Structure 1
Amino acid sequence: MPSTTEDAIRRAAGLLNGADGLLVAAGAGMGVDSGLPDFRGDGGFWRAYPALGRRGLSFHKIACPDTFDSDPALAWGFYGHRLALYRATRPHAGFAILRALAARMAHGAFVFTSNVDGQFQQAGFADERVAECHGSIHHLQCSRPCGEAIWPAGDFAPEVDAAACRLLSAPPHCPRCGALARPNILMFNDGAWIAHRTEAQLGRLAAWRRAVARPAVIELGAGTDIPSVRRYAQSQGLPLIRINPREPAVAQGVGLAMGARAALEKIAAEMNFDEGQ
């Protein structure tokens, strides 16, 4: 490592060593080391979903509630494929390092993430310590919606023609009114998202944050295109550890131009512990 990177790793370790709680702010880049796409730009998105590229459909156009009205099989082809992918993906070793870091701190960790993939819960983070600001693909709601109900997607096993990005099996439906169900995810131009699950998560996060006197803030893979995670991390008014291979600059704290897993492994090595501690 260049000396500047070594210095940054040491400063990051110092911020973590002095903390009594770990606030993890994670964007799409957190999942890249697990093999998940981050949909950066139309080119990257269309490489992940070539059928949508052939139709010129951007992420902004497919990730929209209108698509569930105009072409439900296409909408659920996209989200059904993602649901199956996230269920099958094993979180990378960086998640375990974060858990090990938090275990050293009196107040443990709380996660604020824009990711809808449920990877933090799959990696062993307690559900009550995760705030998903854009919702979760592992939960469903009515597409109308006819009420405020949100329910788990565990009974839905989508069969998808990946080459065409179309759902082949039956889509899920609202148990109350029978209308098409959709993921409980905040989409683009979305006035129908039911937010109370996320609002409850954010309430728990706020309560945890009030109890922590010396939190360390570590931001991972959070870009500027949809800056929800960056804004939240910066709103803490504390030095933060920003890990981002493309946009690492930070006004107050430490910036590491690295992927999430590599940076966390370097920090763990500097602190002389491993993910099993």
Structure 2
Amino acid sequence: MNDTALLEQAAAWIRAADGLLVTAGAGMGVDSGLPDFRGPEGFWRAYPALRHHGFSFEDMANPAGFARHPKLTWGFYGHRLALYRATEPHEGFHVLKRWAARMPHGAFVFTSNVDGQFQRAGFAPERVAECHGAIGTLQCLDACTHDLWSADGFDPVVDEARCELVNAPPRCPRCHALARPNILMFGDWNWVDRRSAQQERRLAAWLHGVERLVVIELGAGRALPTVRRFSELNGPRVIRINPREHAIGPDRGIGIADGARAALLRLDALLRDA
């Protein structure tokens, strides 16, 4: 199919659907100005101080870093926390909300992003499943308890030139050990998955009730294919939107070579004209 035919097919699926499953990777946030850390150069452009230290994204996204370099690791996560809080979700989020509002079962989000942007855009928290956790939720570094708590009371102050946390880091209220974001990291044996597991149970129950599902996948790459696999498991009406990695088998769906915001706005224009 050519580009116009792909968009028309996608629009027809959206019109006919009674439920919208949104699956999203890092590319969804890029149009809001968020970094996606694609490759070491992309990571170091976002955090140049860490090039000096010789740290990669894998080094920082590792629970061992909190014990070895607590100021630096919390500098990285504290900066991200503040950035996500200050970022306004792009227009594409609101397009998805409008489409879902017309469907009997609404929408559910499955995302590997930890930034909380869907909730900031107005998606109900109980309709979002974050398979890698969330930066706005904290846990004990030592997992002395499976309790989780909000990071709302923590306002990180970061020396960006050094990528170091200046103020006191959050602590576990039970054992007073260092706290960390409830994000699944590399080599992470202490990640408390209770919240994510509960979200995914709600998603499974919602899927069970939907008869004419359409899946819109946004900015999910092949490097960590969790989101892509979940999309395809819920085919065959998958609309994969990705500027570079949009290929998908014809028995699973269609691929649109574009960024998330641009493709959603183009689709919305088609749906409005119908």
Q: TM-score w.r.t. structure 2 length?
A: 0.97
Please name the residue that 1:270 is paired with: 270
* Whole-angstrom distance in 2 between the partners of 1:174 and 1:132: 22
Aligned length: 272
Structure 1 segments, 4+ long, off by >4 Å, are none
How far residue 192 of structure 1 moved from its aligned partner, in angstroms, is 0.4
Please name the residue that 1:175 is paired with: 173
Q: 2:149 aligns with which of 144, 148, 151?
A: 151
Please name the residue that 2:103 is paired with: 105
Please name the residue that 2:187 is paired with: 189
- 1:83-94 to 2 correspondences below 5 Å: 83-94=81-92
Please name the residue that 1:249 is paired with: 247
Please name the residue that 1:229 is paired with: 227
Matched residue type, 1:39: F
Q: Which is worse superposed, 78-87 or 6-15?
A: 6-15
Which stretches in structure 1 are left out of the alignment for 5+ residues? none
Q: 2:73 aligns with which of 56, 64, 75?
A: 75
User: Identity over the aligned pairs, expressed in percent?
Assistant: 60
* Whole-angstrom distance in 2 between the partners of 1:20 and 1:238: 15
* Whole-angstrom distance in 1 between the partners of 2:256 and 2:44: 28
Matched residue type, 1:130: V
Please name the residue that 1:49 is paired with: 47
How far residue 254 of structure 1 moved from its aligned partner, in angstroms, is 1.5
Q: Is the 8 A contact 2:213 2:237 kept in 1?
A: no
How far residue 57 of structure 1 moved from its aligned partner, in angstroms, is 1.1
Please name the residue that 1:65 is paired with: 63
Q: Which is worse superposed, 49-58 or 84-93?
A: 49-58
How far residue 54 of structure 1 moved from its aligned partner, in angstroms, is 2.0
* Whole-angstrom distance in 2 between the partners of 1:236 and 1:126: 21
Please name the residue that 2:16 is paired with: 18
- 1:185-224 to 2 correspondences below 5 Å: 185-224=183-222
Query: What RMSD in Å do the two structures reach over aligned CA positions?
Result: 1.2
Structure 2 counterpart SS, 1:34: coil
How far residue 123 of structure 1 moved from its aligned partner, in angstroms, is 0.1
Matched residue type, 2:214: A
* Whole-angstrom distance in 2 between the partners of 1:20 and 1:132: 23
* Whole-angstrom distance in 2 between the partners of 1:188 and 1:101: 36
* Whole-angstrom distance in 2 between the partners of 1:237 and 1:269: 24
